Chains A and B, each alone.
Chain A
């Protein structure tokens, strides 16, 4: 059993039809990749429309990189995360 065609034939025979085999294939795909898809969907919703303000990788000095990240952290704090406590 090495060809995709053989596997498909076997699944169709086992599950009673092409439609059933396709439904089972989707079920298994979601079972295996479902959490990954949900995470990707969440990241897409979080990051879509979020601007990239600068290319920090252009800096070569690690200390300068940390300083730039800190500026962004402060902006995010002021904009949003200072109220992220309850």
Chain B
């Protein structure tokens, strides 16, 4: 599961995490909320095309599912707010192995065993840290 910032940083050439993960053959889960969030913040046709190219990759799976209410309550209790709750809940819902994000608000998940997922705060070191985590 890749947070919105990972797509934007990749499109801007600031990070190669998206490319690394797709080239590694991993399956990427993306919720429509992330797609809308990124799309609203892109204007240049070249950037939009780059984003669509990622989404059209065979290994990118798009989800529109509603999520269990229990997950909303669980992540709100941990201190996440607003849309971050949706992202954390979705990460668990789609059984993602990792949540890759540079957003420190997700630090509350660090070290916390989700049912299937683990938080992967990769910071500015980008793909290197992600590779170290396997």
Contacts and interface: CB of A to CB of B under 8 A. Distances in A.
Question: Which residue, of A51, A69, A72, has the highest number of chain B Cβ atoms within 10 A?
Answer: A69
B62 A42 contact: yes
Contacts of B89: 85
A66 B39 contact: no
Interface residues of A, number: 34
Contact of A36 (B14, B39, B58, B69): B58
A55 B56 CA distance: 22
B67 A65 contact: no
Given A62-B102, A76-B33, A85-B71, A43 B44 contact: no
Contacts, number: 108
Contact of B37 (A46, A47, A76, A86): A76
A52 interface: yes
Contact of A47 (B35, B56, B66): B35
A36 B43 CA distance: 24
Given A36-B56, A57-B8, A85-B68, A69 B37 contact: yes
Interface of A: 35-36, 39-40, 42-43, 46-47, 50-57, 62, 65-66, 68-70, 72-74, 76-78, 80-82, 84-86
Interface of B: 4-5, 8-9, 11-12, 14, 32-33, 35-44, 47-48, 52, 55-56, 58, 62, 66-69, 71-72, 82-84, 86-87, 89, 102-103, 105, 124
15 contacts: A40-B56, A50-B36, A50-B40, A55-B42, A57-B11, A66-B102, A69-B4, A69-B8, A69-B38, A72-B41, A73-B33, A74-B82, A78-B82, A85-B89, A86-B68
